[in-house]
Structures are given as structure tokens and as C-alpha cells.
Amino acid sequence: MSSDLAVVVRGVGKKYKIYDSPFQRIREGLSFGKKRFHKEVWALQGVDLEVAHGKALGIIGSNGAGKSTLLKILAGTTLPTVGEFRLDGKVASLLELGTGFHSEFTGRDNIFLNASVMGFSRAETRARLDQIIEFTELGHFIDQPVRTYSSGMIMRLGFSVATAIDPDVLIIDEILAVGDLHFQKKCIDRIFDFRKRGKTIIFCSHSLYDVRQVCDDVIWVKQGKVEQRGDPLTVTANYANYERSLLHEPELAVGGVPISPERNPPKLDGVTLQDERGEPVSLTKTGQKLVMRLEYHVPEGWTAPINCGFAIWRSDNVLIAAASSGHDGVKVPQKPGGRHRAFITVPRLDLNDGEFTVIGYLYDENCLHIYDHRMNELPLVIQPQAGHVGVISLNHEWRFEDIR
């Protein structure tokens, strides 16, 4: 293993035996292997990866893709069926809420329990105890049984203990999703502090925004295999587009229904986001100008009126805004056999911090039928102005008066 590598995985695969019932497992055991009553399912196959010291690797993918299985193998809580892996240095993992906690012990007792499992003496844990408790912000609940804790409180305790031991490799699996925004920020800040100190992080999350902020490199796991690896923006964008192609039905939320493709309707050739200089943009700030460019072509012989439209979707598939030329009273050029461009300018984009997708549409005359729709290739990531929270930034004014 090279000295500059913290994690090395070679040809790792994990196979599970699936039984229809516990009775089938017993029957197989009683047959001494002569009969098989199970199905074999490969959760992982042929996974190869390397992570250098001081780097953060993000892992994304659908539920059931094999992400958690890979992390469990790296954390040592399960063994691979084939292949090998190595981690250099002390490893701490946060995989499942409550893992390693005794429900009847208090939070304080569980700190000592977890620390001892990680190899710390009681004296070493006592030296870090005040720091751990302060970070948890659990107050007097630290001396209450863990069975009385909420999922967020358990996450606070687990993260505080795991990071207090100052590991060389920190493995996190979606656990931050249950925390409140304040504690999530504390956790992210601590993760960035780990990065500055040269620690290695393996970060699995469904929050593509967090993955892009934290990680240097990202792998997309699909059906047990590494589908893609690369820079965070490219890989998360490709994954998001794949997920939306499976789950997203934009025509259901913007008022139209698709028309039969056999009629050879007008088609969109591309949707591009531009800044005020006309340059392609995927990262912008609240309050900036944004231009959406739609390119479309009209087939020969097409005479029916058409309309253009767009919709802005948040990363959790919430529709933020939509508009169409028909409802705005704008006439759309449609030369038969011709290609056209439409520019929709938003002088001031008042969306706050988040990730969004812009989808372009071609409608019929009454905006009832959708001829075609297409999303921009990269997500739109918006950085907020200081002190602005929420989905949008409202244009507002202040006025004061004295009351007698």
C-alpha cells in the first residue's frame, strides 16, 4: 500500500443469501449443503478505489445501490465476499444511529463505552469528556438513559464521540440527515477542520449540495458497481439527471400533458443557463441576473402555434416557479423547418441558498399539451447573500415612525 494512500479497495464484492422464510434457512442447514433454498444477491461487485491521505471522498447513489454495504466493509463491521481492502491509520465510523450504544446507559456512560471500544483508556476518555459533552449540546440529558433520546440527540452523541478521538479516517453514512440545521452546520465545520488537519473522510449522503461542499472526489454507486468517479459537480449532476429521468414527471406539475411522439412535434435541442455576459453558468449568487436560453426546431410542414416555457425545480423536486410565453402574451417564432432560440431573462434571481434544476418546455397554442421538455445539463447552485435564509429573498423596504 502506497504511503500516500489512506484507503485502498481492490475488487471488493459482497454477496448475501436471501431466504423466503426462516424455515428455508433451517431446511438448507439440515441438508448439509446438498440442497439450496436461497437466492444469491450481490450487493457489491468489482469495486476498486483509492483515497489519498487528507482527501474527502463522497459516495452517492440510490437506496439499495450498495453504498452502506461498502461503508460497512470499510468500517470493519462486515467482511467482503471477494476482494481486499486496507485503511491506513485509526478509523472512526458513523454508520447507523445508536450503533454501539447501550439503551439503558446514560449518554455519559455511553461515551466511555464507545471510547473504550475505539481503543481509548478511561483516563484518555476522561481528558476529552468535557469537550465531547460541550459539543453534543445535550445539557442535563447527558445523564439520562439513551433510550429516552430522539434520533437527533443520538446523532449528536455519536458524532461527538467519533470525532473527539481524532481519527485518521472518518466514515460517515447519511447520519447528518437527522440533525437540526444548527448542529448540521457544527458537524460540517468540524469535518472541514478535519480536512485542514490532513484527515481522510469518506462521506455518504443524499444531500448532493453537502457532497459538493465537503468532497474532493465523488463516486456514484449504481446496482452494486461504481458507475462513475470524478469531480463533485460533474458526478452529482449526472446522478441527479439520472434520478430525475426515473422519477420526475415535470408535465404533471406545470399544467400540461405530453403529446404522442408519432405526430413529430417541435423539439427542444438544448437548455442553457447564462450570466449577464452571456457565459454559461452553474454557480451564481442571490440577486444576480440569469438568462435561460432554449434552442428548438420546428419540423417541415408544421403550422400549429407553439409556446415556450420553463420551470425551476429545487433539488427535492419542489416546483419553485414556472412561466410560459402563452400566459405572458408573447408570440413565438416558428418557421417550418427552421431552428430558433428563445431567451428568458430574469433581471434579479431572488432564490436563496440551494440547488435547482431548470427545465425548458414546448407547448401547444393553449399550453395544454407538451410537445417536448428538456433539463439543463448542470444543476444551478446558488450562494445566498449574508443573512438571507429561506427559499427566496424578498425585495423589501424599512420605515419607522414614532408612536405618541
pLDDT higher than threshold 50 for residue 250: no
Report the chain's mean pLDDT, rounded to a whole number: 83
Which of 34-43, 56-65, 115-124: highest mean pLDDT?
A: 56-65
Confidence of residue 148 (pLDDT cuts 50, 70, 90): very high
Q: So what's the pLDDT on residue 235?
A: 86
**197 within 8 A of 229, measured Cβ to Cβ:** no
Confidence of residue 98 (pLDDT cuts 50, 70, 90): low
Q: So what's the pLDDT on residue 255?
A: 43
Q: So what's the pLDDT on residue 343?
A: 92
Q: Quick one: what percent of the chain has pLDDT higher than 90? A: 24
pLDDT higher than threshold 80 for residue 260: no
Residues of the chain with CATH 2.70.50.60: 248-383
Q: Quick one: what percent of the chain has pLDDT higher than 70? A: 90
Residues in the chain: 404
Confidence of residue 198 (pLDDT cuts 50, 70, 90): confident
Please state, in angstroms and as integers, the Cα–Cα distance from residue 220 to each residue in 15, 49, 252, following that order. 20, 12, 28
Query: The whole model's pTM is what?
Result: 0.63
Residues of the chain with CATH 3.40.50.300: 1-89+168-173+201-246
Taken in order 217, 220, 226, 230, the sign of the CA dihedral is: negative
Q: Are strands 5-19 and 38-52 parallel, antiparallel or unpaired?
A: antiparallel
Confidence of residue 208 (pLDDT cuts 50, 70, 90): confident
Confidence of residue 252 (pLDDT cuts 50, 70, 90): very low
- pLDDT digits over 354-400, tens only? 888 888 988 888 877 788 888 887 778 887 666 666 788 888 788 88
CATH topology of domain 1-89+168-173+201-246: Rossmann fold (3.40.50)
Identify the architecture of domain 248-383 in CATH: Distorted Sandwich (2.70)
- pLDDT digits over 46-69, tens only? 999 999 998 999 999 988 889 989
More confidently predicted of 10 and 125: 10
pLDDT higher than threshold 50 for residue 23: yes
**401 within 8 A of 371, measured Cβ to Cβ:** no
More confidently predicted of 29 and 139: 139
The string over 205-224, giving b where at least 16 C-beta atoms fall within 10 Å of a residue's C-beta and e elsewhere, is: bbbbebbbbbbebbbbbbeb
- pLDDT digits over 292-337, tens only? 999 999 999 888 889 999 988 887 677 888 888 988 999 999 888 8
pLDDT higher than threshold 80 for residue 182: no
Q: So what's the pLDDT on residue 248?
A: 46
Least confident of 114-128, 140-154, 380-394: 380-394
